[in-house]
Amino acid sequence: MTVAPIARTDTLLAAGPAASDYSRFVQRIRRRYAGQLPLLSGGAPVRASMQDALDALLAQGMATGAALRVLRQLVMERLVVLDCDGTFENQAPLAVVTRAMTELAELALDVAMQESGAELDKLHGAPMTPDGERARMWIVGMGKLGARELNVSSDIDLIYVYDQDGETSGRSDGRGQISNHEYFAHQVKAVFSLIGDATEHGFVFRVDLALRPNGNSGPAAISLSALEEYFQAQGREWERFAWLKSRVVAPLECVQDGSAQALRGSVLPFVFRRYLDYNVFDALRILHRQIREHAAKRCAGHPERANDVKMSRGGIREIEFTVQLLQVVRGGQFPELRTRPTVDALQRVARAGLMLQETADALARAYDFLRRVEHRIQYLDDQQTHVLPTRDDDLAWIAQTLGYSNCCPFLSELDTHRELVAGEFDKLLGGKPDCKGCGKTAKPAPQQLEDLLEQLSEQWPEQFRTRLALWRQHPRVLALREDSRVRLARLVQRTAAWLAEGTVTEEAAVRIIDWIEPLLRRESYLALLLERPAVHERLLRLLGAAKWPARYLLQHPGVIDELASDELLKERFDGASFARDLQQRLAALRSTGEDDEETCLNLLRRAHHAEVFRTLARDLEGVLTVEQVADDLTALAEAVLNLTTDWCWQRLRNRHRETPQFAIIAYGKLGGKELGYGSDLDIVFVYEDDDERAPEVYAAFVRKLINWLTIKTGEGDLFEIDTALRPNGNSGLLVTSFEAYTRYQQQRGSNTAWTWEHQAMTRARFLLGDESLRMRFDQVRETVITAARDIVALRNEIVAMREKVRDAHPIKSIHAPQASGGSPSLKAEKFDVKHSAGGMVDAEFAVQFLVLSQSALHPELRDNVGNISLLLRAETAGLLPAGVGQRAASAYRELRRVQHRARLNEEPTQVNPPVLEAERAAIQQLWVATFKSNE
């Protein structure tokens, strides 16, 4: 469900010009600080204007703590005026208010750090590192302060972290030396005194340190090394949500000089895990349940407290949890999701396809509305509350300052927004089953895994039951934690239920056991399948369809989350979108200093594996034809090559120009756009660069590029690269000048290409590089394939090459059944769909001969449009008898389909006659028409 914004028409009463006068808090400020209010310059408060006002207050003789408190009063009064006075359309946007409060907190904390540090230095000297540098302490803002979303009467959640242990330098008299830990503990107290103590001027901010490691029992300040150790040994799941929005907010000097960036190296791996992390669902459920239980206790006997716009059902907290859950689950693999502000995060998860755009927009509107209501509640008396007031006049004032004529339309919109938020939150946490059979196992207490394995149901199919029985004593199963055994039991029960219903096959059920078993230590995958029943069901269908997907999924298990997308089967690969997403991902990594080479290698591999898997899922569901699968896999390879080329060049140490004058030429299946799963890439590298350094630079570049494509990392590899078709083959240079490539192909000089290399040129294609090189390559290719040739000699060479290929791939014979008293006799050869007479290779060699012998007279044969299209063009041109080209094209398509399906099932590509007899005959007719008719 989504909610459109409610239009405020002229029938709604806008707040009057003095709406701020109603605030009892504002009334107190104006009575007490009338003389100081002009010190804050006009307009929205920003850090510069607040600093000027603070300086003026200090110049009047106020102590720092008092000046900061008075400054807060001035800022608050200004924000009430900007937010509530005038018409609704002219009021300050939410971002203006939250930015002002955030910058006030940052300014106050920076001032407090400077003043407290100066005082402590006089007593103990500066805190020092073992290297003789001054040790630094950072104030880490959590929650809304970290996200720059601070509300007008919020406390600030802080954690104090210092970079290194050591001792202070002591006073000039040699006394006062203490440890850095003690120094910073004193400073934490001093900062609290300057900021949090209530005085005659109130406080600057309420300060909460409960989020620090070990909570209120932990030290006030912690070293960076101790924080890292805590994250690794004791960090809890809910703390990852807290640290998601963490940011060093003071001292300003540390933020500006970049030294505070050292904290990122510890925080990012803790918050964002390497793999998709569905374990956090349970953690968030527990945290949210605790919050609701606490809210229920507060409301006991006080029903008015149920109208809490932050903590109650459908409140601000549920919007924050919704987006943070998606960020934490996927942020490790998708760094572009790592952002602190809630509204920005909503848009990012929508762009990533994790949420409908209209849902993200509706949640953003709800967030803006609820935050504005929250502020007005707090404007009344400067109380840290989020509960709607019970006084009718207070409620009417809130409604009017939001542009409503009375409370009824206001409360109606409030309820609408809260219902939307609650619905989306419940849906995310599995409040409603989202697929057939899920409701049966989603909530009831599951059977213990041990009991389940001991009492394997006789109703289950034998193969499934037998395979499952092996888990009774399996070390990985026995080593699982209790919660993981519960998850595993629930998955088994759900699989068995679907198996009994006939939703999935027994083969699929057995294969999922084989798939899960090696991954049991990665418990997040159990959580993923349990949290996403639709993924579990689709995975079973996929595993039941063919063998090869199971092997691929075992190598790249993280890709199964792709099955969660409802759009999966409706889409096709989009190279531009793929490249754009990866560039955004790289930019996000660069912003946090994580764009090292290994991270980039893994980023490419994860993205490639995910796209291969998407294509595989569409293939097995019958959404794509074999030709469309090849098109999408080819387009994916091109996109990966483009990105890898760009990234490698940018990281090449000895590059001599911003853009390489370089090109990649594709041959074979890549050139013909016929890639299959796991196909290697036949490519040739050329350059056109007069710089004297060019040969050395491009040689280093190509070596790096091939390494990036082929090296195995923790995420696997990308492609096998075959460069044997370069000039002089494996004995030639890895990259050659375009001029040398042209001379070789056009038979100029003593070093020239062989006929089989010209056969390969029929399928060659300019893949990437400068457009001027593209045009020149197309000219070279056309010159080669249209060159005058001795037809008979060409025919003999191609036929001889075909025989060599056939001899290299012998076909096994089928033995006839043994007669009584006799020995078995040879009956016939099996038919190999690729290498046998009448197979795919025959069709490919026939097309190559037609192109090389006839394209000079028939321009329609020059385009690299694939074997099927060229066969049809050849028949249309009269080069083949009527029907021969069409039948051969249809046969070639069917043989490709059979080969493709056999490889997916990891079966031989050889069949027993008379299977495919018609297709074989059609290709043999093509062979005779092409080669025998010219003898």
pLDDT of residue 445: 40
What pLDDT, on a 0 to 100 scale, did the predictor assign at position 844?
Answer: 95
Q: Are 846 and 924 in contact (CB under 8 A)?
A: no
What torsion do the CA atoms of 885, 891, 892, 896 make, to the nearest 10 degrees? 170
CA distances from 556 to 424, 551, 716, 823 (A): 30, 9, 8, 49
Helix/strand/coil for 751: coil
pLDDT at res. 434: 38
CA–CA separation, 20 and 16 (whole Å): 9
Contact by Cβ (8 Å): 204, 72: yes
834 burial (CB, 10 Å; 0-12 / 13-18 / 19+) is: middle
Question: In this structure, which amino acid lies at residue 563?
Answer: L
Classify 258 in phi/psi space as left (phi over 0), alpha (psi -120 to 50) or beta. left
Kindly state the helix (H) or strand (E) to which residue 721 belongs, with its residue range.
strand 721-722
Phi/psi at 292 (nearest 5 deg)?
Answer: -70, -35
Contacts with 169 (C-beta within 8 Å, 6 or more apart), sequence order: 125, 126, 128, 177
- DSSP annotation of 448: P
| Strand, coil or helix: 465 | helix
What distances in angstroms separate CA 514 from CA 257, 507, 509, 637, one per listed residue?
53, 11, 9, 30
Rounded to whole angstroms, how far apart are CA atoms 257 and 712?
38
Nearest alpha-carbon partner for 189 in 127, 254, 112, 107: 112
Give the tokens for residue 272. 């964002």
d(CA 364, CA 356): 12
Beta bridge partners of 722: 682
The amino acid occupying position 263 is: L
Q: What whole-number distance in Å separates Cα of residue 658 and Cα of residue 560?
A: 39
| Number of residues written out for the chain | 935
C-alpha torsion angle, residues 238, 244, 250, 253 (rounded to 10) = 140
**Separation CA 519–CA 608 (nearest Å):** 21
Instruction: Identify the bridge partners of residue 687 per DSSP, sorted by sequence position.
Output: 662, 737
Which portions of the chain are predicted below pLDDT 50?
1, 5-7, 9-16, 432-446, 815-826
3-state secondary structure 683-720: EEEEECCCCCCHHHHHHHHHHHHHHHHHCCECCECCCC
* Spatial separation of the C-alpha atoms in residues 97 and 150, rounded to whole Å: 8
Q: Are strands 831-832 and 826-829 parallel, antiparallel or unpaired?
A: unpaired
SS3 569: helix
Tokens encoding 152: 């007008």
Residue bearing tokens 């809890």: 236
Taking residue 330's Cβ as centre, other Cβ atoms within 10 Å add up to 22
Q: Read off the DSSP letter of residue 33.
A: S
Phi/psi of residue 167, nearest 5 degrees: -135, 160
CA-nearest of 556, 682, 96 to 372 is 96
Secondary structure of 625-675 as H, E, C letters: CHHHHHHHHHHHHHHHHHHHHHHHHHCCCCCCCCCCCEEEEEEHHHHCCCC
* Residue found by looking up tokens 């396809």 in the block: 353
CB 569 within 8 A of CB 618: yes
Give the C-alpha separation, 727 to 753, whole Å.
7
Q: Which residue do the tokens 């494996």 mark?
A: 730
Q: Model pTM greater than 0.75?
A: yes
Amino acid, single-letter form, for residue 643: L
915 in Cβ contact with 907 (< 8 Å): no
Angle between helices 626-650 and 597-620 (to 10 degrees): 170
Q: Quick one: which of 613, 614, 589, 616 has its CA closest to 600?
A: 589
* 622 φ/ψ sector (left φ>0, alpha ψ -120 to 50, else beta): left
Alpha-carbon span 662 to 769, nearest angstrom = 6
Residue the block writes with tokens 């010219």: 934
| 853 vs 835: CA distance, rounded Å | 23
- HEC readout, 205-261: CCEECCCCCCHHHCCCEEEHHHHHHHHHHCCCHHHHHHHHCCEEEECHHHHHHCHHH
- Give exposure, 836-870, as e/b (b: 16+ Cβ within 10 Å): bbbbbbbbbbbbbbbbbbbbeebeebbebebbbeb
**Dist. CA 173–CA 69, nearest whole Å:** 36
The residues, ordered by sequence, that sit 6+ positions from 239 with a Cβ below 8 Å of its Cβ are: 211, 270
| Euclidean distance between CA atoms 720 and 709, whole angstroms | 7
**Residue with token string 């002089």:** 728
User: What is the predicted pLDDT for the residue at 18?
Assistant: 81
Q: Distance of CA 468 to CAs 446, 456, 471, 519, Å?
A: 17, 8, 6, 15
Confidence (pLDDT) at 824: 44
User: How crowded is residue 46: how many other Cβ atoms within 10 Å of its Cβ?
Assistant: 15
- Residue among 55, 63, 97 at smallest CA distance from 79: 97
Task: Tell me the Ramachandran region of residue 215: left when phi exceeds 0, alpha when psi lies from -120 to 50, beta otherwise.
Answer: left
